[in-house]
């Protein structure tokens, strides 16, 4: 009889596990299957070798092309390199983090290590209240312009370091990638309790809302909306948090909650008809203006929300809302004119700038990873036909273009650490 009851208990535990799992995971994305869709092949019938050549051409132009018109990657001594914002003539944590991610996805270890050493040497604070955070803006000689953090930089840097650890193994010193990633994760969650923090620097994730803050900074001056009291929808990366929940040495429960909170937040932040997201929002999803206004509209940061929603679904299939959202967003831009839609809008769809921007074209193509309507093919084709961005605006447009190519081609992948 005891064996019978033991068997019943095991069955109940088994069923409870799978019921709980279904509550958080609706399907089997790339994390489970190890398969990544190549939409250039699936929707446009482009041969794989042509896709590989297109990606290689983009890498060669943006990283090693003409320094006046094509490249944004520049080597510096000793053994370092940086991604340059050409238009502003500076270096930003956003660009460095994207550069690191592109390098690890394409198995470019030398470029990765050079970028990481520059980031570590010049951008990461070595002491003081901001210790282990990264300054978001520096001169090309490494001098810090603004010591504050743009929180997405830390997020992408951590994820790139974890992938580097899994893909190449850990080295020593600053090239112990996993250890470096964990240090930044610990700082993001426990900064306010660190010895030496004078109270002006906060955690990068809000403890109550489990959401990324715009910037972990409590200004000394009186300010109505300090940077830690609101967020940026494009900073919400639930697919990254899912991996940290599995791979981090501690705080795993928090990262699972952050993934759930991020998905819940994005549902509230996007417009229910157009699918457009604001640049900045409160933690309940309400759009908010800051730094002179305009950030309650769909502008440059908000382009990336399409990428975050679609990639999260492609990797984890956690919520079929991503399909609805991606279809809705592509419907809006298709109705605005597939070849002519602008790059800035009010959330209800009034065009604020009619520039047809290659960066937004790339981000909308990534939305096709989650979309199911027939219009998605046109957006993927638009990305395929785009030339590699060049000229003074190539920094942001080129980074979005390169990330778009990797994701739409199935080249942007999860690299799992060794068991």
Tens of pLDDT, residue by residue over 179-199, are 999 999 999 999 988 877 878
Out of 60-64, 177-181, 286-290, least confident range: 286-290
| Contact criterion met (CB below 8 Å) for 297 and 11 | no
Report the pLDDT value the prediction gives residue 279, as an integer from 0 to 100. 98
Cα separation, 54 vs 397, in Å, equals: 17
**Would you call 205 helix, strand, or coil by DSSP?**
strand
Report the pLDDT value the prediction gives residue 16, as an integer from 0 to 100. 36
What is the arithmetic mean of pLDDT over 363-369?
A: 98
Report the pLDDT value the prediction gives residue 27, as an integer from 0 to 100. 62
**Total residue count of the chain as it appears in this document:** 419
Give percent of the chain with pLDDT exceeding 70: 93
Q: What average pLDDT does the chain have?
A: 93
- CA-CA-CA-CA dihedral for 345, 349, 355, 359, to nearest 10: 70
Which tokens is 325 given?
Answer: 């959202």
Cα separation, 157 vs 120, in Å, equals: 11
pLDDT above 60 for 131: yes
What is the arithmetic mean of pLDDT over 285-312?
A: 95
pLDDT tier for residue 104 given thresholds of 50, 70 and 90: very high
What is the arithmetic mean of pLDDT over 88-112?
A: 98
Cα 273 to Cα 231, 267, 330, 374: the distances in Å are 22, 12, 11, 19
Tokens 């959202």 sit on residue: 325
Report the pLDDT value the prediction gives residue 92, as an integer from 0 to 100. 98
Report the pLDDT value the prediction gives residue 389, as an integer from 0 to 100. 98
Which tokens is 83 given?
Answer: 């991604």
Among residues 293, 260, 261, 295, the alpha carbon closest in space to that of 279 is found at: 295
Report the pLDDT value the prediction gives residue 289, as an integer from 0 to 100. 92
Please give the sequence-ordered ranges of beta strands (E in DSSP) within 289-378, or none if there are none: 344-345, 351-353
Contacts of 304 (CB under 8 A, 6+ apart): 234, 363, 400
Report the pLDDT value the prediction gives residue 70, as an integer from 0 to 100. 98
Cα separation, 261 vs 252, in Å, equals: 14
pLDDT tier for residue 233 given thresholds of 50, 70 and 90: very high
Active-site residue numbers?
Answer: 94, 301
Cα separation, 383 vs 367, in Å, equals: 12
Give percent of the chain with pLDDT exceeding 90: 87
Decide: pTM greater than 0.85. Answer: yes
pLDDT tier for residue 222 given thresholds of 50, 70 and 90: low
């Amino acid at each position: 009889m005891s064996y019978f009851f033991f068997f019943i208990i095991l069955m109940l535990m088994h069923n409870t596990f799978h019921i709980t799992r279904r509550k958080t995971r609706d399907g089997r994305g790339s994390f489970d299957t190890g398969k990544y869709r190549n939409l250039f092949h699936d929707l446009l019938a482009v041969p794989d070798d042509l896709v590989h050549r297109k990606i290689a051409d983009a890498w060669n132009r943006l990283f090693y092309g003409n320094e006046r018109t094509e490249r944004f990657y520049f080597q510096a001594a000793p053994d370092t390199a940086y991604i340059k914002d050409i238009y502003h003539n500076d270096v930003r944590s956003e660009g460095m983090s994207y550069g690191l991610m592109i390098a690890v996805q394409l198995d470019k270890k030398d470029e990765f290590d050079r970028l990481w050493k520059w980031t570590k040497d010049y951008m990461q604070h070595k002491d003081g209240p901001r210790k282990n955070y990264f300054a978001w803006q520096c001169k090309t000689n490494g001098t810090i312009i603004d010591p504050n953090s743009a929180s997405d930089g830390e997020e992408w840097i951590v994820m790139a370091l974890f992938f580097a650890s899994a893909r190449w193994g850990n080295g020593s010193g600053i090239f112990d990638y996993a250890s470096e990633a964990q240090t930044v994760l610990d700082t993001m969650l426990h900064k306010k309790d660190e010895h030496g923090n004078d109270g002006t620097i906060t955690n990068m994730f809000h403890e109550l809302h489990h959401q990324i803050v715009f910037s972990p900074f409590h200004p000394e001056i009186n300010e109505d909306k300090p940077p830690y009291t609101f967020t940026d929808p494009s900073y919400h990366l639930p697919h990254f948090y899912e991996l940290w929940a599995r791979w981090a040495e501690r705080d795993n429960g928090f990262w699972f909650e952050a993934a759930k909170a991020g998905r819940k937040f994005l549902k509230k932040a996007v417009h229910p008809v157009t699918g457009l997201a604001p640049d900045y929002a409160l933690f309940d999803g309400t759009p908010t203006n800051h730094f002179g206004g305009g950030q309650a509209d769909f502008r440059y940061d908000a382009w990336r929300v399409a990428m975050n929603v679609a990639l999260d679904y492609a990797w984890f299939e956690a919520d079929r809302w991503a399909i609805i959202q991606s279809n809705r967003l592509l419907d809006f831009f298709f109705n605005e004119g597939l070849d002519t839609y602008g790059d800035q809008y009010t959330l209800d769809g009034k065009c604020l700038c009619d520039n047809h921007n290659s960066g937004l074209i790339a981000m909308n193509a990534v939305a096709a990873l989650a979309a199911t309507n027939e219009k998605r093919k046109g957006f993927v084709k638009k990305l395929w036909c785009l030339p590699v961005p060049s000229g003074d605006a190539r920094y942001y447009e080129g980074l979005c273009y390169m990330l778009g190519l990797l994701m739409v081609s199935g080249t942007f992948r999860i690299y799992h650490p060794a068991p």
